[in-house]
């Protein structure tokens, strides 16, 4: 029966390819999907990000691009403000990723409805092709939009919820700040009386982060161009991932930074450091026990992250409550 299901799915896929975009028959990716896929459209052998991001990139540019930056009207748990991110051509893909993973849930309802309706309308009339094609046949890139269970705006999902969201005057650690979408969101959410420490060791991202802070007129966000770990060191990085071996990237710990800066509280900690999360937590045990911050932490980089990170967190504070976010890719801790 399972064999027949897979065979019928593959037959339907081939017939749909012939119907919607016959040139796909000349595309090697098309045949790889036919031969390697399971019997459902939502478990295909390529990343959803490679489908969504080019599409979202166009929608973000259509609705939010101004002169030199994107402007997002945000409703963050009843607090309304405008978030701006630089829009250099080379950054559109990165901004679309931040939009997918972070910003869409916080858009004001009017804009959220508008962009959703536009997406649905484009998808409705998408075939046989569209104008943006990135190293894939148009059928390969675009056919699956309406075939995935539902149009999914959050690849990784939120760092907070109604229980643990940011409040005015709070102190926030953004560990793995990248280009600063969360840092700027946090700076606007906590207000002038609050403070955000944005840790980003890569200079190319730190420079964009600083520019986004300036673009938003924030004076309460401090950029720290260091990585965090379980002990002071220097490391090297491949892409955005810390790898074994010494290098020129300085590493400190949460505990050391707190002592050096005389920090007296941490209210919220957000972390996305590509598998280094456990070392960051181990290097901050003293401070995390003392301040007991609410936390939003990525748990998908290493296969055993959910078990290992849960154990470390509960060792720090057995009274912590841990929930997964809506996508199951982050721990929400409070």
pLDDT of residue 4: 76
CB-based contact 209:179 (threshold 8 Å): yes
pLDDT reported for residue 94 = 79
Cα–Cα distance measured from residue 105 to residue 84, given in angstroms and rounded to the nearest whole number: 16
What is residue 246's predicted lDDT score, i.e. its pLDDT? 73
CA–CA distance, 126 with 120 (Å, rounded to integer): 10
Of 224, 217, 216, the closest CA to residue 196 belongs to: 224
pLDDT at 230: 95
User: Which CATH number among 3.40.47.10, 2.130.10.10, 3.40.50.720, 3.40.50.150 corresponds to the domain 171-333?
Assistant: 3.40.50.150
User: Quick one: CA dihedral 85, 88, 91, 93, positive or negative?
Assistant: positive
Per-residue pLDDT, 3? 72
At residue 131 the predicted structure's pLDDT band, cuts being 50, 70 and 90, is very low
Q: What's the rounded mean pLDDT across residues 317-321?
A: 97
> CA 90 to CA 94: how far, in whole Å?
8
Q: Percent of the chain beyond pLDDT 90?
A: 54
Q: CA 25 from chain center: how many Å? A: 34
- Omega prior to 276 cis, within 30 of 0: no
Average pLDDT of the residues of the chain: 82
Q: pLDDT of 57-70, one tens digit each? A: 777 888 999 999 99
Question: If phi over 0 gives left and psi between -120 and 50 gives alpha, with beta otherwise, what is residue 64?
Answer: alpha
First to last CA, the chain: 46
159 Cβ contact partners less than 8 Å away, ≥ 6 residues apart: 102, 182, 270, 296, 325, 330, 332
Phi, psi of 242 (to 5 degrees): -75, 135
- The half-sphere exposure of 124 on its side-chain side, counting CA atoms within 13 A, is 6
Nearest alpha carbon to residue 78 among 108, 98, 104: 108
SS3 86: strand
Strand duo 233-238 + 241-243: pairing: antiparallel
This prediction has a pTM of 0.78
Which pLDDT tens digit goes with each residue over 247-292?
888 999 999 999 999 999 999 999 999 999 999 999 999 999 999 9
**pLDDT tens profile 6-54:** 677 677 767 766 765 676 677 665 676 677 654 444 344 344 444 556 6
Q: What is the mean pLDDT of residues 181-201?
A: 97
Predicted confidence (pLDDT) at residue 245 exceeds the cutoff of 80? no
Q: Tell me what pLDDT residue 52 has.
A: 58
- At residue 216, φ and ψ (nearest 5 deg) are -90, 5
pLDDT digits (tens, 9 = 90+) for 103-117: 988 999 999 888 888
Residue 150 pLDDT greater than 80, yes or no? no
Structure tokens at 320: 């912590």
Which of the residue ranges 122-131, 174-183, 284-293, 298-307 would you say has the lowest mean pLDDT? Answer: 122-131
Give the pLDDT of residue 156.
79
> What does the domain layout of the chain look like in residue ranges?
2-36, 48-142, 171-333
The pLDDT assigned to 295 comes to 98
Structure confidence by residue, pLDDT tens digits, 163-174? 999 999 999 999
Provide φ and ψ at 152, rounded to 5°: -110, 115
Label residue 244 exposed, middle or buried (CB < 10 Å: 0-12, 13-18, 19+): exposed
């Amino acid at each position: 029966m399972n064999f027949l299901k897979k065979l019928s799915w593959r037959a339907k896929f081939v017939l749909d390819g012939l119907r919607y975009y016959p040139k796909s028959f000349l595309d090697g990716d098309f045949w790889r999907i036919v031969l390697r896929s399971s019997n459902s459209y939502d478990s295909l052998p390529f990343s959803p990000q490679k489908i969504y991001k080019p599409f979202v990139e166009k929608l973000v540019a259509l609705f939010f691009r101004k002169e030199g930056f994107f402007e997002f009207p945000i409703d963050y748990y009843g607090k309304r403000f405008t978030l701006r991110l630089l829009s250099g051509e080379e950054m559109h893909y990165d901004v679309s990723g931040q939009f997918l993973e972070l910003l869409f849930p916080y858009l004001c309802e009017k804009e959220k409805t508008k962009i959703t309706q536009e997406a649905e309308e484009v998808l409705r009339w998408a075939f046989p092709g569209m104008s943006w094609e990135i190293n894939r046949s148009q059928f390969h890139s675009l056919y699956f939009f309406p075939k995935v269970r539902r149009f999914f705006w959050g690849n990784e999902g939120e760092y907070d919820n109604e229980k643990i969201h940011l409040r005015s005057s709070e102190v926030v650690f953004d560990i793995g700040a990248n280009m600063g979408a969360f840092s700027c969101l946090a700076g606007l959410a906590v207000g002038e009386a609050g403070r955000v420490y944005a840790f980003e060791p890569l200079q190319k991202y730190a420079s964009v982060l600083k520019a986004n802070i300036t673009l938003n007129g924030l004076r309460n966000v401090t950029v720290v161009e260091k990585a965090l770990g379980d002990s002071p060191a220097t490391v090297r990085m491949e892409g955005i991932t810390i790898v074994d071996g010494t290098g020129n990237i300085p590493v400190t710990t949460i505990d050391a930074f707190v002592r050096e800066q005389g920090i007296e509280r941490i209210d919220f900690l957000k972390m996305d450091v590509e598998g280094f999360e456990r070392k960051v937590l181990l290097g901050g045990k003293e401070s995390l026990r003392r301040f007991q911050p609410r936390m939003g932490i990525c748990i998908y980089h290493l296969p055993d992250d959910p078990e290992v990170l849960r154990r470390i967190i509960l060792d720090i504070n057995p009274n912590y409550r841990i929930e997964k976010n809506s996508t199951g890719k982050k721990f929400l801790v409070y």
